[in-house]
Structure 1
Amino acid sequence: MSNLEKDPQEVVCHDGGLPGPRSACADGAPVEIITAREVPLGGPRAMTVRRTLPQRQRSMIGAWCFADHYGPDDVSKTGGMDVAPHPHTGLQTVSWLFAGAIDHIDSGGNVGAVLPGEMNLMTAGTGICHSEVSTRETTTLHGVQLWLALPDAVRNSIGRVFEHYAPEPVHFDGGTALVFLGAMLGSTSPVAVHSPLLGAEIRLDAAATLTLDADPAFEHGLLVDAGDVSLEGVPVPAGALGYTGIGSNRLRISNEGTSPARLILLGGAPFEEDIVMWWNFVGRDSDEIARFRQEWQDHGDRFGRVDGYVGLGGPNSLTRIPAPTLPTVRLRPRQNRPPHVQQ
């Protein structure tokens, strides 16, 4: 899933009015709660996603710059996911499903299936376009869509790359984990990334606690899909994200409930570059974003084209998604907050 907002707004980040740090553990890391906002994608039968990144409260966690959480969605009522070809620049998309299946086609000639427990990572450095359609056999769609900002050193030199990785489960006392990026619990993903990162799905049994060794150079975000979960003793509501800044060498995650919990743990070294993110483009200034938009509208070579896309509407499907109108003011770089829980 990509950003299909028809009127994506510029967000100016500034101080004030944010929740303070909390920790219920005497020696635990402070925790900042980032509540999701609901964003409808597309028309009246569109899927609604819960977006925790970016927010005015916090724009990024490491290089993670976008996090949408959706479902479980009954696609017999919503019509399923049907995202016509659309562009990206300056980022990597991470598709991760809990249920359902999605067919992916991109302008690099890559065709793949997004399946539960298997990561599809698409790199859109200089430019790419792709389509995403849930399979006709899918009855329930449930998962997350994540973006990674590419550092300036590589974003203009990487072409259209597509990688697929199905991690083996890592078992620990009280649950399992699937490490799709970085390293955790002795499991290391072979997928190449361009900044220090961590991405994993964690499943916790009822009443179980996981104590993780953490890299103190990383900031972390724990997204709760399901369960009565606490991070460092602080309750993290379902759909919300619990944030801890740099400096912690341990994270304690507990399932306080009587049913299994499912979580996505994101981490990374603070991203030191300012970015401009508008619609599906990540750039560095307003002029660059405007140029990307115009090249997409002009069917430029930067993005190529998707061959083989057939939407759920058949011949009547939209063939490509036009870019929204740019705002009448210059887009400002998104300056992320310091990598510490807000005071």
Structure 2
Amino acid sequence: MSDLDLRPTARTCGGLGEVAAEPVRELMTGRTVPLGESTRVRRLLPGLGRRMVGAWCFVDQYGPDDIADRPGMQVPPHPHTGLQTVSWLHGGEVLHRDSVGSLQTVRAYELGLMTAGRAISHSEESPRDHSPILHGAQLWVALPDAHRHTEPAFEHHTDLPQVTSPGLRATVVLGGLDGTRSPGTVHSPLVGADLSLVGGASARLPLEPDFEYAVLSMAGAADVDGVRVEPGSMLYLDCGRRELPLRADSDAELMLLGGEPFEEKIVMWWNFVGRTHEEIDRARTDWMTGSGFGQVTGYDGDPLRAPELPPVPLKPRGRVR
């Protein structure tokens, strides 16, 4: 997934100094941005006030879109550094190609996990013969300093564990939930889970008190800790919670994202996560000169050009604006 904004702002994130001391229930509404040739997404993170939830630093939600007579997702080759990308679908397929040689179709309720590490490039597109509906989320996880220069890699997991209770099914996409762990590789304490609530159900989901959380509505509306969360919106919840009350009048599908508040300050600009302006500038130059990111083969189109850097230095300042 790429940030296709031609004038990306410097996103300064991370740091424990701005973790709230009081209970927080902050409802966020996504802004609509274009993705590729024909897809529009709702961007929930980073937002105007909140930049990260644990190590999660980027959340796009899209669909359900009728693409029966359209090409669907078409994101040309583009670079990443210092992060992991998580592809998660409720409907449709995404064909992933990358510069380490991966060629994989990711389908609904399968985990596509790419670790950029020091540098990778990839493309994402709906296959030529694709399902009529495209519905999903694209998410980024910031890598901590000890792992952000690791070798790039891609994982595809089709058999993910679940946590169930009456009226609730939680698929553990990444990290751990209630003692159950995803097979996906993680580099910091976090969780990503897909929640399916049956209409009329009330449930209480166990949480880690040291984690902060956010709940994204994918389909249907649900009451999350007493707050109504509608499709395309996300509720932020701070640390100190041991369980999460959930209730739905009709069937609802949610995503739970959480983790320990990210200790390091980071700079996120375009598709790069770094620590200094100089790192971001070097990554941009490497991409534009064809150095370090490898080649994506098989995509029918040119790679994305990087936007121009802003005229002032990029500086890491903290987790919230």
Give the structure-1-normalised TM-score.
0.86
* Residue 295 (structure 2) pairs with residue 322 (structure 1): no
Structure 1 match to 2:5: 5
One-letter code aligned to 2:50 = R
State the Cα distance separating 1:146 from its structure 2 match.
0.2
* Residue 240 (structure 2) pairs with residue 247 (structure 1): yes
In 2, Cα distance between the equivalents of 1:186 and 1:173? 18
Task: Name the stretch that deviates more: 261-270 or 46-55.
Answer: 46-55
Secondary structure in structure 1 of the residue aligned to 2:147: helix
Structure 1 match to 2:49: 57
* Residue 263 (structure 2) pairs with residue 272 (structure 1): yes
Deviations 1:259-296 (A, max 9, x none): 31000000100001111111101111111111100100
Equivalent residues in 2 for 1:146-165 (5 A)? Answer: 146-156=139-149, 158-165=150-157
Secondary structure in structure 2 of the residue aligned to 1:154: coil
The structure 1 segments of at least 4 consecutive aligned residues displaced by more than 4 Å after TM superposition are: none
In 2, Cα distance between the equivalents of 1:188 and 1:326? 39
State the Cα distance separating 1:11 from its structure 2 match.
5.1
Pick closer, same or farther for the CA change 1:181–1:131 going to 2, 3 Å.
same
Structure 2 match to 1:308: 298
User: Tell me, which stretches of 5 or more residues in structure 2 are unaligned?
Assistant: 14-19
State the Cα distance separating 1:33 from its structure 2 match.
0.8
Give the structure-2-normalised TM-score.
0.92
In 2, Cα distance between the equivalents of 1:133 and 1:198? 26
Secondary structure in structure 1 of the residue aligned to 2:154: strand
Secondary structure in structure 2 of the residue aligned to 1:289: helix
In 2, Cα distance between the equivalents of 1:85 and 1:42? 11
Pick closer, same or farther for the CA change 1:182–1:11 going to 2, 3 Å.
closer
In 1, Cα distance between the equivalents of 2:181 and 2:218? 23
* Residue 163 (structure 2) pairs with residue 180 (structure 1): no
Secondary structure in structure 2 of the residue aligned to 1:151: coil
Q: 1:233 aligns with which of 226, 237, 240?
A: 226
State the Cα distance separating 1:57 from its structure 2 match.
1.1
In 2, Cα distance between the equivalents of 1:334 and 1:305? 34
State the Cα distance separating 1:56 from its structure 2 match.
2.4
Task: Name the stretch that deviates more: 228-237 or 57-66.
Answer: 228-237
In 2, Cα distance between the equivalents of 1:34 and 1:65? 14
State the Cα distance separating 1:42 from its structure 2 match.
3.9
Structure 2 match to 1:33: 27
In 2, Cα distance between the equivalents of 1:125 and 1:252? 36
State the Cα distance separating 1:336 from its structure 2 match.
0.2
* Residue 272 (structure 2) pairs with residue 281 (structure 1): yes
Structure 2 match to 1:295: 286
Higher relative CO (Cα under 8 Å, sequence separation at least 6) belongs to 2
Confirm or deny: 8 A CA contact 2:71 2:126 kept in the other structure. Answer: no
In 1, Cα distance between the equivalents of 2:11 and 2:298? 36
User: Tell me, which stretches of 5 or more residues in structure 1 are unaligned?
Assistant: 14-19, 23-28, 311-317, 339-343
In 2, Cα distance between the equivalents of 1:104 and 1:228? 31
Confirm or deny: 8 A CA contact 1:231 1:253 kept in the other structure. Answer: yes
One-letter code aligned to 1:37 = R
Aligned length: 313
One-letter code aligned to 1:228 = A
State the Cα distance separating 1:124 from its structure 2 match.
0.5
Q: Give the greater-gyration-radius structure (CA).
A: 1
Greater strand percent: which structure?
Answer: 2
In 1, Cα distance between the equivalents of 2:272 and 2:154? 18
Pick closer, same or farther for the CA change 1:21–1:270 going to 2, 3 Å.
closer
In 2, Cα distance between the equivalents of 1:21 and 1:151? 24
Confirm or deny: 8 A CA contact 1:221 1:243 kept in the other structure. Answer: yes
